[in-house]
Chains A and B, each alone.
Chain A
Amino acid sequence: MSLAAIDWGFILTQSVTQAFDFNAVVYALAAIGLNIHFGYAGLLNFGQVGFVAMGAYGMGLSITLWQLNPFLAVVVGMIFAAIFALILGLPTLRLRSDYLAIVTIAAAEIVRLIARSTVMRPITRGAEGLNEFIGPFRDLSPFSPGQIYGIGPIEWRGSQFFAVVVGWILVALSLLLVAQLMRSPWGRVVKAIREDEDAARALGKNAYWYKLQALILGGVIGGLGGMVQALGNATVQPDFFVAPLTFFFWLVLILGGVGRVWAPVFGAVVYWFMITFIQNTGRQLVDEGLIPTSIMDTSQIDQIRFWIVGAALALLMVFRPQGFFGSREEMALDAR
């Protein structure tokens, strides 16, 4: 019954591990995609989780349904996400940004509902999800599944370490791509559209087409996040892709700073460190009886995450919309 009984070493190790685990990669990739959508092109995508799901299902189905090789499967996952972007973008990108927000949040939920429906069970395995796609990827992995890899106390099993390594490589490539793109003429046009669509149009730029390209690009990077999730958890389950997840990605983006290349990675690492730290500490406090179970039991500790995300999202948006690294001017957007 004392603070001394709390195993801070364990909590810190856990937190650091989670901060660099494949989950953080998933969040980072999804937020990099969102950054292209919102940070650079000013598109209000409230359904990023739908793109993540499309990527994961695209890759999983390629193997369970069509027996493609793993590299092609990744390409198919990217195509799935791109098609989803086309379906969403074609009707809505001419409209005001709040319409896009409503449509994307609805579309992401459609993806989940269809994926888990009994009608689709022969293809998506319904609520159980896809589980038999991991074999070909395990064969590619240079790490033996049972062995432990890591630096010091931060360890992963070989089966997951593959997802961690592949994931961070994908993050690095995506960041490189975003950095180069935003320095290119394309990036300048996209940012110009965000600032003043009419002005960009007056200069002869097809704003609709540029916004569609941005939606596709960000969606595909989000889709890569879905594939890393699939690789790390060795399963693709529809109920992983619930609507609140999108707003976790939003928090990660805003935490780092909207419109900054590096920001999503920083946000994802900080987010996972903080959440793991708080939850593990909370769990130990309950176990030690420092928080009476009449107030909260261990199963309720997991709900704290939603309170924190909700509060952090609202407070950051009001008091520090530019996050850690952003500039306030870039966040001076408004619904037009």
Chain B
Amino acid sequence: MLLFVSSVLLIWGPGLAVAQEGGESVGTRLRFENVDGDRIPIEGGRVTVATLDGEAVAEGLSDAEGNVEIPVPGPGTYVLTLDVETLPEGVVLRDPDRLSTETQVLEGQTGRTIFALIAGDVTLDTDEGVSFRQILQLSVEGLKLGLFLGMGAIGLSLIFGTTGLVNFSHSEMIVWGMLVAYFFNFYGFAGFLGFMANWPAPFGAGVNLAFAALFAIAGGAGLGYAMDRWIFLPLRERGVSLISQMVVTIGLSLILRYVFLFIFGGSPRFFADFTAQSAITIGIVDITPKDLITAALSIIILLGVGLLLLRTKLGKAMRAVADNRDLAESSGIDVQRVIRSVWVLGGSLAGLGGVFIGLSEQVSWNIGFRMLLLIFAAVVLGGLGTAFGALVGALVVGIGIQVSTLFIPTELKNVGALALLILVLVFRPQGILGRAERIG
């Protein structure tokens, strides 16, 4: 499992990041991890490339560094298959079913994939396989995931706190941010306002992801605003019950998710920038610069949100409304305005979180539901309705998920988080930071 993670981190070798001018290619780096945790390149491993229809395109052998790069005829999706016969004695795929993997090749770029390889006698389920370094590495991975989840969890928890509504469409705000960033990253405004085609970026062309992320924040804020302004404020005014509103959020999430599918298509893609990076080693932990930067940005932003909640008038009003709505209203706080701000804040945090998740994993229309369940686990763990609890919960869930892969199969790691959710409700239903009041 660690191996999988480290392969992801280390697969982007130097010099591989950019394909040769104009030509598309697919590539991978063949390495396996031995008992000591060293990654050893494999020379002469054969990889064959085929189209999705199974038509063979090309094949290549890995060099002394384990690098394989194979030119392909054009952009598209290709299937890479590893010839296990060419692997050194004792080296096997961690998951024998992952003999072939699909990769998407964008114009002028190299489509990358990984084959997680281990020396056959290494079974990561044995206790000897768990080293301090592995735990640390996975904790860092988990911290990163937890920070990204936290961006969504705080918004969900604040909306719940101020309105009592569990927003099942919060995950679609995350995906929305991801897709807005993707759109501006590739097309700019000309993507939907065709007449701007010859204007400078960001009007006529895509911008760097760093700028596209700003559009994602704005887009998320806009969606949050729109949802409160045109959907949930009218519902509150009509006196529609919270359960009905919850079902409305579900309806919304179904519509949004399938509108995303309709526009974006089903296959996952990658942003144009920062996709292929080699990991740097800090101490004994490997991390890619993009992960380092996004994690650092998340920390800064979450600290900023914390300051906003603790120090500013608006933040205090938000916490006051979450704490006791009637009391807040009678002491002169404009509750509807606070709720609007919470939606906007939640939407923009979710939007940016979406960009980070898309950068760290991939851009996909249906990544939201998995995130939603993890965010639920986080907010329930931290105490539904508490902003800081949500953040603590998100970090625990993120780290827990990644470290748990040392003990349980990677494919079940999310199951562990969801099982934790149920256990928390049995033993401490108010969550880590929630107050012990009767919530039954």
Residues of B within 8 Å of A244, CB to CB, are 254
User: Is B373's CB under 8 angstroms from A44's CB?
Assistant: no
In the complex, are the beta carbons of B440 and A118 less than 8 A apart?
no
Contact of B255 among A113, A117, A307 (CB under 8 A): A307
Q: Are A333 and B241 in touch, CB under 8 angstroms?
A: yes
Q: Is the CB of A314 within 8 A of B429?
A: no
Knowing A103-B425, A300-B262 touch, does A332 contact B409 (C-beta < 8 A)? no
* A92 surroundings in chain B (CB, below 8 A): 422, 425
B 177-225 contacts with A by CB, 8 A:
none
CA distance A298 to B318 in the complex (A): 47
Q: Are B440 and A96 in contact (CB under 8 A)?
A: yes
What sequence of 0s and 1s flags, for each residue 307-334 of chain A, a beta carbon within 8 Å of any chain B beta carbon?
1011111110110010000000001111
Contact partner of B248 (CB less than 8 A), chosen from A99, A300, A314, is A314
Chain A residue contacts of B244, Cβ below 8 A: 317-318, 321, 331
Q: With A102-B376, A118-B97, A333-B243 known to touch, is A317 a contact of B251 (CB < 8 Å)?
A: yes
A314 touches B247 (CB 8 A): yes
Instruction: Assign chain A's interface to a size class.
Output: 35 or more
Q: Does B246 contact A (CB under 8 A)?
A: yes
The verdict on B93 contacting chain A, using a C-beta distance below 8 Å, is no
Q: A313, B254: Cβ atoms under 8 Å?
A: yes
Q: Which residue of A lies closest to B425 (CB)?
A: A91
Is A101 on the interface with B (CB-CB < 8 A)?
yes
Collect the chain B residues with CB atoms within 8 Å of residue A311's CB.
251, 255
How many A-B pairs have beta carbons closer than 8 Å: the answer is 139
B422 pairs with A310, CB closer than 8 A = no
Chain A residue with minimal CB distance to B258? Answer: A306
Q: Mark B83-111, 1 if CB is under 8 A from A, else 0.
A: 00000000000010100000000000000
A106 near B425 with CB under 8 A, answer no
User: Which applies to chain B's interface (DSSP): helix, strand, loop or mixed?
Assistant: helix
Q: Let me know if A98 is at the binding interface, CB within 8 A.
A: yes
Q: Is the CB of A113 within 8 A of B409?
A: no
Is A274 at the interface (CB under 8 A from chain B)?
no
B333 beta carbon closer than 8 Å to chain A: no
**11 new A-B contacts at CB < 8 Å, known A109-B369, A314-B247, A314-B250:** A92-B425, A101-B246, A102-B166, A119-B411, A119-B412, A303-B262, A313-B254, A314-B248, A314-B251, A318-B238, A318-B240
**Can you spell out 30 A-B residue pairs with CB atoms less than 8 angstroms apart?**
A46-B250, A88-B422, A92-B422, A95-B439, A96-B439, A98-B166, A98-B384, A99-B425, A102-B376, A103-B422, A106-B373, A106-B376, A106-B377, A106-B422, A109-B373, A113-B414, A114-B412, A117-B409, A118-B409, A306-B255, A306-B257, A307-B258, A310-B255, A310-B258, A313-B254, A314-B250, A317-B247, A318-B235, A321-B244, A333-B243
Q: Interface residues, chain A, CB within 8 Å of chain B?
A: 44, 46, 87-88, 90-92, 94-99, 101-103, 105-107, 109-110, 113-114, 117-119, 243-244, 247, 250, 254, 300, 303, 306-307, 309-315, 317-318, 321, 331-335
